[in-house]
Structure formats: structure tokens, C-alpha cells
Amino acid sequence: MAHAAADKKAHDPVLIEVGDVLAITDVFVVTSGANDRQVRTICEEIERRVREATGRGPLHTEGWEDASWVLLDYGDVVVHVMLDDTRAYYSLERLWGDMPRVAWDGDAAASAAPPAPSPPRPGTGAPGGP
């Protein structure tokens, strides 16, 4: 979902683990766009990609009318796509600031992480090699 948003130039997608404190979902995806057209485009791309990958659509959606804050509820993941000003005003990242973030490869922190070690070579237990 974060990849789909990033591909439509969403601003700073963040994944927040909330499952330990909320019984209704496991992860919030929070991102934003510069205008209502971009917010709708981001949401449409997320819906398209999830439908292609899983065959399912959101269980519930809200906010399509004015697109200042669109919510896509997939059960285990809830996506919040907002206008930049709306995101700054409600500051969900600050509200959920004590919850862990989920790293993803489009995330600057994940990109800066060192690469994972090579898996052991078959039959040797030694790293690397074909």
C-alpha cells in the first residue's frame, strides 16, 4: 500500500503498528497529497494494487466527497490519505508517536539500513556463494 502511494508521489508514507493498543486493526498507513485530485489518485492506485494482489477491496471507505481525508479500511490495515494541511493539523504521527513504525523499502530509515547477510551456502552453513 505504501508502494502504491509512493508511486503516485504521495508525501512521506508512514506505517504505524497499532495492533497492540487497537483491537480493530494492526497497521495504519498515513500519507498525504498536495491537492484533492492527488489524494483521490493515491487512493485509487492503492485500491487497484490491493485488488490485483489480493482480489479484495476495502471493507469500508470514507471521505471521498471532499478528499481532504480519505480512509480505506482493509481490516488489518487502515489507510489514511490526507491533504498536506489536513495531515499537519491532525498530526496522526504525533498522536501515535509512541507506537512502533513499520520499515518498508521506500522508507528513508529502511533504505539506510545495512543489507541483510547472505543466506548460508547449501550444505556448508557458511554465508554467501551460489
Look up the CATH architecture of domain 2-101.
2-Layer Sandwich (3.30)
Domain ranges (residues) in the chain = 2-101
**How is 54-86 classified by DSSP, letter by letter?**
HS---SEEE-TTT-SEEEEE-SSEEEEEEEHHH
Residue 84 confidence (pLDDT) above 70: yes
What number is the average pLDDT over the span 114-118?
37
Residue 41 confidence (pLDDT) above 90: yes
- Tens digits of residue pLDDT in 58-82: 999 999 999 999 999 999 999 999 9
Secondary structure class of 108 (helix, strand, coil)? helix
